[in-house]
């Protein structure tokens, strides 16, 4: 199996900065929206740690939802359940979408791929107060609208896009559904990362759309890793990074720039073994990133890639 760029060097500079106190074509993804009927009580400030990066305190441009487009929703749930400790519920009226939760807190969703030849992959959703305004910003900045803004029966408003380099992402305005509730704890999203063939172009695009702040961190080999933070937020609210790579280093995404999720797990080695036992593959690891944590790059049975990490806790 061809593997992508070694993720630990990419993740390391970002995670090391955690402070005490993270129109389509047939080659692209397609799935149903994140919510078709679900309501959750999300206590204010729930499940935040002192060093939490991704939190449930959503601000414009911060990750607020995550879903997987899969060719077989039930098979994907059977795989991710043991790996991330997720339980699943089918929202009323939905045949092809499952909500994932960990200890009663929503962790994301799995929806059915709707395009022939589409690649199974994870997609991040970023918070916006107005999906229509964000769609207009995407077009002005040179992006593409893949799924037009729509209201999902009062549960949320959403839209899906591609950036100018081809990286796919989405936006979401929570309605009766509150968004991600399991974050930065075992089974929850703790970081998002974009591998792209044009980091400068991608950053200019996302800054125009979301106003993201950036901080560049030097890497070995003369490259730079850029940490991104929502507009107007302190460095502690950084939620991801952007790294320029060559097309050959994007093997798992068919040479197309892509966002990748990083999930927290209590025991990276045990979770990685569960990946293999469930029919998935391990592209790299587990291995230690000193001062950051232990991580592995994994691929589910349908080809969607993701990262597992047990962070070093201060």
* DSSP bridge pairs for 213: 229
For the chain, the average pLDDT equals 81
The tokens for 281 are: 């593959």
H or E stretch at 272: helix 268-277
- Checking if the pLDDT of 234 tops 50, the result is yes
Query: Is it the case that residue 3 has pLDDT exceeding 70?
Result: no
Determine whether domain 7-18+59-311 maps to CATH 3.30.750.24.
no
Sign of CA dihedral 311, 199, 258, 279: negative
pLDDT for the residue 117: 72
> Tens digit of pLDDT for each residue in 131-159?
999 999 999 999 999 999 998 777 789 99
Three-state secondary-structure class, residue 132: helix
pLDDT at 252: 65
**Would you state the structure tokens that stand for residue 85, as one six-digit string?**
């400790």
Whether 66 contacts 125, CB under 8 Å: yes
Give per-residue pLDDT as tens, 77-86: 999 999 999 9
CA distance 6 to 107: 26
The Cα–Cα gap between 308 and 268 comes to 6
Q: What is the pLDDT of residues 235-293, one digit of tens each?
A: 888 899 998 888 777 766 677 889 999 999 999 999 999 999 999 999 999 999 877 78
For 244, how many CA atoms within 13 A lie in the half-sphere containing its CB? 15
């Amino acid at each position: 199996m061809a593997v992508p760029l070694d993720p630990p060097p990419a993740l390391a500079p970002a995670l090391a900065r955690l402070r005490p106190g993270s129109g389509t074509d047939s080659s692209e993804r397609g799935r149903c929206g994140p919510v078709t009927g679900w309501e959750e009580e999300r206590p204010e400030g729930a499940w935040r740690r002192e060093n939490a990066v991704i939190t449930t305190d959503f601000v414009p441009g911060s990750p607020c939802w995550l879903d997987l487009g899969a060719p077989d929703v039930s098979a994907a749930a059977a795989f991710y359940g043991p790996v991330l400790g997720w339980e699943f519920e089918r929202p009323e009226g939905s045949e092809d979408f499952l909500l994932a939760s960990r200890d009663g807190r929503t962790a994301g969703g799995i929806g059915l791929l709707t395009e022939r030849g589409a690649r199974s992959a994870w997609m991040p959703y970023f918070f916006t107060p107005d999906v229509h305004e964000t769609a207009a910003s995407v077009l002005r900045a040179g992006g593409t609208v893949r799924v037009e803004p729509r209201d999902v029966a009062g549960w949320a408003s959403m839209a899906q896009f591609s950036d100018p380099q081809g990286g796919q992402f989405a936006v979401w305005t929570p309605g009766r559904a509150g968004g991600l509730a399991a974050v930065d704890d075992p089974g929850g999203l703790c970081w998002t990362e974009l591998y792209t063939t044009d980091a400068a172009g991608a950053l200019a695009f996302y800054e125009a759309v979301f106003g993201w702040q950036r901080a560049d961190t030097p890497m070995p080999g003369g490259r730079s890793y850029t940490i991104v933070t929502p507009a107007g937020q302190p460095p502690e609210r950084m939620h991801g990074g952007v790294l320029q790579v060559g097309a050959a280093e994007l093997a798992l995404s068919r040479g197309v720039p892509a966002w990748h999720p990083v999930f927290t797990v209590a025991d990276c080695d045990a979770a990685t073994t569960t990946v293999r036992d469930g029919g998935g593959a391990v592209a790299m690891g587990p291995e230690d990133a000193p001062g950051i944590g232990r991580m592995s790059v994994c691929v589910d049975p349908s080809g969607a890639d993701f990262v597992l990490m047990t962070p070093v806790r201060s």
